Amino acid sequence: MREIVLDGSPEPVLELTEALHAALNDGETVLPLAGTDPSCAALRAAMAPEDPVEPETAVLIATSGSTGEPKGVLLSAAALRASATATHERLGGEGHWLLATPACYIGGVQVLVRALLSDTEPGIVETRGGFVPEAFTAAAAGVLNEPGRHYTALVPTQLAKLLEDEVACEALRGFDTIVLGGAATSAGLRARAADAGVRVVAAYGMSETASGCVYDGIPLDGVQVRLAEEGDGIGVIEVSGSVLAHGYRRAPERTAESFVDGWFRTGDLGRFDGERLEVLGRADDMINSGGVKLAPALIERVLLAQPSVAQACVLGMPDEHWGEAVVAAIVPAGGVGGPDEAALAAAVRAELGKAAVPKRFERLPTFPMRGPGKVDRGAVREAMGES
């Protein structure tokens, strides 16, 4: 197994690209790791790189997922190729890719795989000092100067930051498509991108599906989606197709539980709006307040539609009367006065009903994050409990 530790600089990414090329052609299994992540040593130890690798594994993605428990996702060359090929078919053809997200995660790995299948050299954003518009703009210039189609992948927080910078926004307009993944994309952010002339597509997927497998609610070619345990049109999302991983590292029981008869049980809730899949967040995050089951994602969506709210995280907190009480953490929008809690409550009530209205609002300066663009809901819960 070939381990590659990434630190936000281009050199290890170039090494990873070379290793991925070999792995896609029956070479050594690749294990990318985030050297800047405090959990890097623990994740590496959990992957047991000294032990034999499960057959047909081209890339091993080490992740703590949404639970914080280390796990290794086993991806074959066939799954990685199938994902990249289906993405190109959906976007309009192969092209030049700019890597702007960490390459230790599946989204970054797939940017490199897509570049390899396009026989192009990927652009690389320098992120050792954090993600800044100036570094993105500089790296984008080299990619956009190449003939053909141009793509990049971002998480919503990156896009929001770039849209605030005039020069970076001009660079964004040069890309044929920007794939947004890692976290839910709010309607407000999509509207801002559209108003700026920036073309985006929201991708839903995970390491187990070799990155995004549903684009703007429509599965990629070769991908099937269904809902299990449906009730009121909402169910647990299950995915099938050639993009699936073949299991978890040294975890046969977990593999047997999650991969059944060619279907992967995601643990996410969803519903169909016509032919489009709407993702409602983790099943474990559902709130049962007074016997009414509520999806936090739907409440967050209403809150994020308010101009005074930059970020929202809705949780169920223990409550003697309700069982769980709906509470909302809010990051106020920059340059806007603090949110009017009565107005926020009224908006939620009008859209989702009285039961969905948060019993308490808490303002935080920022949200702790886990992985690429994902809010660390457990850390937010701790912050809410301490307040």
Which CATH number do you get for residue 332?
3.30.300.30
Residue 42 lies in a domain: no
Same domain, 213 and 85: yes
Residues 6+ apart with CB under 8 A from 157: 183, 369, 373
Residue 257 lies in a domain: yes
Q: What is the pLDDT along the chain (387 residues), one digit of tens a residue?
A: 999 999 999 999 999 999 999 999 999 999 999 998 888 999 999 999 999 999 999 999 998 765 568 899 999 999 999 999 999 999 999 999 999 999 999 999 999 999 999 999 999 999 998 999 999 999 999 999 999 999 999 999 999 999 999 999 999 999 999 999 988 888 889 999 999 999 999 999 999 999 999 999 999 999 999 999 777 789 999 999 999 999 999 999 999 999 999 999 999 999 999 999 999 988 988 999 988 889 999 999 999 999 999 899 999 999 888 889 999 999 998 756 678 999 999 999 999 999 999 999 999 998 988 777 788 888 898 888 754
| Cα separations in angstroms, 297 against 150, 170, 190, 328, 364 | 32, 31, 16, 11, 18
Boundary-marking domain end, from 222, 246, 277: 277
Domain total for the chain?
2
Report whether 64 contacts 118 (CB < 8 A).
no
Which amino acid is present at 113? V
Residue 271 lies in a domain: yes
Residue 7 lies in a domain: no
pTM strictly above 0.85: yes
Same domain, 181 and 226: yes
Boundary-marking domain end, from 254, 277, 300: 277
Same domain, 104 and 179: yes
Range of the domain at 339: 286-386
Whole-angstrom distance, CA of residue 97 vs CA of residue 200: 14
Same domain, 337 and 257: no
Same domain, 290 and 156: no
Same domain, 167 and 256: yes
